[in-house]
Structure 1
Amino acid sequence: MSGYRSTPLFGGALYCDLPEKFADVSKLRQVPDNQEVYIDKDGFTSIIFDITERVGPAGGGLETDGRALTTHLEELVGDDADTVKVWNTTETQFTHLDEEIPAYTLIATQTTPKSERSSSTPDFTALILTLVRLEKESTDVLITINVPHIQGEYDEDEVDLALGKQGELIGDAVEYAAKIWGTFEVKDWNLFKEI
């Protein structure tokens, strides 16, 4: 496992620790202003921070926030929602955010139909999606870790989420997510007024 480095996001308004082996995609291609995208230099995993308008009615609670999480997942996968399976959803606590700020994480997989697979198309992509609900700022922060599983690039016998077997790639991604939850900090709350 690689080391981590404290990484400024959105011009330093946010900070969190990311794996050292991840590169800032904006140095390679244009990224929307409301996103920060990092990709594994040695693999296919990506980490995306997305600042979006808050989804759903005012107020919170598990039902409202759960619907918001589902809405964001559906927007991510688009028309392919029928290829997605959600394995679990949990409330998430960020070390450096007020504990009153609701956050949730889900683990899902999106399977590529066999008829659409090629040598470079993933058999499936695991998604670790964390949603932070900033009601006062009318903002949802999405942190998505995409983990494509391409045939020959992972040990198929090690992955069976129904049996609780995550395999190395998903295990690493869960560790990245936990590191983000423990180090994510808002340094400048004005960011959410600008985007």
Structure 2
Amino acid sequence: MTIYRNTPLFGGALSVELPDNFADVSKLRQVPDNQEVYIDKDGFTSIIFEICERVGPSGSSAEIDGRALTTHLEDLVGSDVETTKVWNTTDTQFSRLDEDIPAYTLIATQTPKPDPGKDATSSPDFTAIILTLLRLEKESTDILVTINVPHIKGEYDEEEVDLELGKQGQLIGDAVEFAAKIWDTFRVNDWNLFNEV
């Protein structure tokens, strides 16, 4: 069973419960000021919290917010957009925020293009991406929570994963559980954070 610990983000302005075995990457290397990055000490999964400028027109609707989610995903995967497949998108509710704050989550996979110069064994077969977008219109802010789950040959059971058949496998299943815990425990302790960004 996963043990979670309360984790302050952005100097404590935000907080969330994260799995105990995830380490703060900023203690190892430079991380942009608008990001908090955590990586699994026992695997390859990472969890990234990012504060971005809100994209798209004002207001909230499935169309406006859906386009914003697509824009953020395209920014995330960059030139690999044609090898990225979105499997599903759902409305998301953060338990400790107002119900009227829109949030959405998608599950996608990104398959690396074959690189003849690279050793194929070191790159993942694919990376699952669980991307949650929290829309804070009054603050002109989008908060992205991205869980990246690289699937490296030999590190997962290939027979357990077939997203077309709804089989997520252990790694994606764990990441979905982490995401659900984030939605349940994410809290804004200091709204002034968004004035500074």
TM-score tier by shorter-chain length is over 0.9
Q: Counterpart of 2:111?
A: 111
Q: Counterpart of 1:122?
A: 124
- Where do residues 116-155 of structure 1 align in structure 2 (5 Å cutoff)? 118-155=120-157
Q: Counterpart of 1:158?
A: 160
Conserved? CA contact 2:80–2:112, under 8 Å = no
Q: Deviations over 1:8-33 (max 9, x none)?
A: 00000001100000000000001011
Candidates 160, 170, 173, aligned match of 1:171: 173
Counterpart AA for 1:95: S
Q: Counterpart of 1:72?
A: 72
Structure 2 length-normalised TM: 0.97
CA distance in 2, matches of 1:101, 1:115: 42
Question: Are residue 19 (structure 1) and residue 29 (structure 2) matched?
Answer: no
Q: Deviations over 1:12-69 (max 9, x none)?
A: 0001100000000000001011000000000000000000000001111110000000
Report the 3-state secondary structure (helix = DSSP H, G, I; strand = E; otherwise coil) of the residue aligned with 2:122.
Answer: coil
CA distance in 2, matches of 1:10, 1:124: 30
CA distance in 2, matches of 1:64, 1:121: 35
Gaps of at least 5 residues in structure 2 are none
Gaps of at least 5 residues in structure 1 are none
Count of residues paired in the alignment = 195
Following superposition, the deviation at residue 120 of structure 1 comes to 1.3
Following superposition, the deviation at residue 113 of structure 1 comes to 2.8
Q: Percent identity?
A: 76
Conserved? CA contact 2:7–2:16, under 8 Å = yes
Q: Counterpart of 1:181?
A: 183
Q: Counterpart of 2:2?
A: 2
- CA RMSD in angstroms comes to 0.9
Following superposition, the deviation at residue 118 of structure 1 comes to 1.6
Following superposition, the deviation at residue 157 of structure 1 comes to 0.3
Report the 3-state secondary structure (helix = DSSP H, G, I; strand = E; otherwise coil) of the residue aligned with 1:121.
Answer: coil
Q: Counterpart of 1:55?
A: 55
Conserved? CA contact 2:8–2:15, under 8 Å = yes
CA distance in 2, matches of 1:108, 1:19: 22
CA distance in 1, matches of 2:132, 2:106: 7
CA distance in 1, matches of 2:77, 2:184: 27
Moved over 3 A (4+): 114-117
Q: Counterpart of 1:101?
A: 101
